[in-house]
Structure 1
């Protein structure tokens, strides 16, 4: 969640010590305040100051989750999700302690604040909070075993040029029960990952192009909002934001305003991406599947692919920018 504070027409920006001091002075004149010094912990998030910026982690909170589940000594696994999902009709007996399942799933959801690599697996686990089965709890335990082996993994924030860029992907009909697609997108400011999301689409897409096109529209809404926020924070984006997508047919559809029989059924809101391109706020670029960072948010991946994308999410590389 983002907060924007105005004090006497001064907007706080990340690189201005003068603005920070002015803000503190103005707030202190109106409210009783204590200066706690340099941030080290906030809402269970540990903050470590480094030469490149900040490093965030929730290792203590992760340890608490494992302790609550009774899995502090469990054997780690290499990925948070099984590569092949368990069939819905297999081991479908209700889990005996649904309250525990919901507590663990909710805690894991909060953990994704600093663990984007867990987002897809946590999203799948949280879809079954109403009536969890034994098979669903086994999937949750697999996720906890991965957490055990990566408990100290953190999340870096870099000091560099604040240029916004985005990645979006969709797994067409990836849900084996409802045949709905899963979309995922992430936004970088410079080298820092600042927002990401995993979401199952509301309607069944009739083609991979439609699924990817809907994902583009959803990601565009988030990206434009971030551009507006940065403008308010006096960090305007002077160039068009690049949105990377791997499906050439969806890119062509976004750039071509001509409708035909195969696209008339697509919801009107999806065409929002066209106005963003027309207004020169976004440019949709093709990216190869092997370089698509958002792939991590749409499906379970083999261990080598999973770890490659996880490392790229938190690295300072901007090879595709």
Structure 2
């Protein structure tokens, strides 16, 4: 070890600094940050949600606050503006913060459009980024993301020349399904071939992107109505032509709002 250029000590040219503790750049840094933040929230009366480790809930008498954190991005809401302001002032004394007061408009590449009777979540900007990365910003849209009665498993097509691009686009589409449950099944199909993608597989992925071009502002509506829970499930028994495996899925509604879903094979 030696002193770096620009930081040479003429009196002690052979000395180096001893690092006691480093935070940024280490794998432990997110854990340290979350431990510090969550510890402070618990001292203020917040409780960690049992279903989501990123959600903290404060409930004292008639005051309710919800605190959602993802690394250093935070959403705070509640039924008492006074309690929210006092809580923000408390956080400002402990952590350096940038407070964007007002209704939410964007969080983690998810746009929030406020309507008189609902909120509409979409990822149109992120979708445009995916199309730009694939070089398909001016592609011709199609009405469906997948051909009916088609299979991309039985194919003797040559290997795709840029597998890293295939994996990047497939990963991006997976994140897009946060607000596009209609694409979950089709994205699940193309993600099954990320390690051995062929030209036929990439053609199937491009069809999803062409459908995305024509439905770029489609998203997930959240309605204001009675919070009754409904669940639906379905399965395609032995529907895979290759291994005869079944594809199953379910979706849960809170009122008229879709809150969770999955498609798995």
Give the TM-score of the pair, scaled to structure 1: 0.58
Structure-2 separation of matches of 1:89 and 1:185:
27
Alignment of 1:90 with 2:155, yes or no, is yes
Contact kept? 1:123, 1:198, Cα under 8 Å: yes
Give 1:163's aligned residue: 228
Give 1:39's aligned residue: 104
Structure-2 separation of matches of 1:158 and 1:87:
37
Structure-2 separation of matches of 1:16 and 1:6:
10
Alignment of 1:144 with 2:197, yes or no, is no
Contact kept? 1:86, 1:135, Cα under 8 Å: no
Once the two structures are superposed, the pairs formed by residues 144-293 of structure 1 within 5 Å of their partners are 144-200=209-265
Structure-2 separation of matches of 1:171 and 1:24:
51
Question: Number of residue pairs matched?
Answer: 199
Give 1:29's aligned residue: 90
Q: Aligned to 2:55, what secondary structure does the other structure show?
A: coil
Displacement, 1:136? 0.7
Alignment of 1:4 with 2:55, yes or no, is yes
Displacement, 1:93? 1.5
Give 2:174's aligned residue: 109
Displacement, 1:154? 1.9
Q: Aligned to 1:5, what secondary structure does the other structure show?
A: strand
**1:242-295 Cα deviation digits (max 9, x unpaired):** xxxxxxxxxxxxxxxxxxxxxxxxxxxxxxxxxxxxxxxxxxxxxxxxxxxxxx
Structure-2 separation of matches of 1:105 and 1:138:
12
Structure-1 separation of matches of 2:186 and 2:82:
42
Alignment of 1:63 with 2:123, yes or no, is no
Q: Aligned to 1:12, what secondary structure does the other structure show?
A: strand
Give 2:5's aligned residue: none
When residues 165 and 133 of structure 1 are mapped into structure 2, their CA distance, relative to the original with a 3 A threshold, is: same
When residues 15 and 7 of structure 1 are mapped into structure 2, their CA distance, relative to the original with a 3 A threshold, is: closer
Structure-2 separation of matches of 1:51 and 1:185:
29
**1:145-165 Cα deviation digits (max 9, x unpaired):** 111111111211111111111
Displacement, 1:171? 0.5
Contact kept? 1:91, 1:134, Cα under 8 Å: no
* Structure 2 gap segments, 5+ residues each: 1-50, 67-75
Displacement, 1:27? 5.0
Give 2:115's aligned residue: 50
Higher Cα radius of gyration: 2
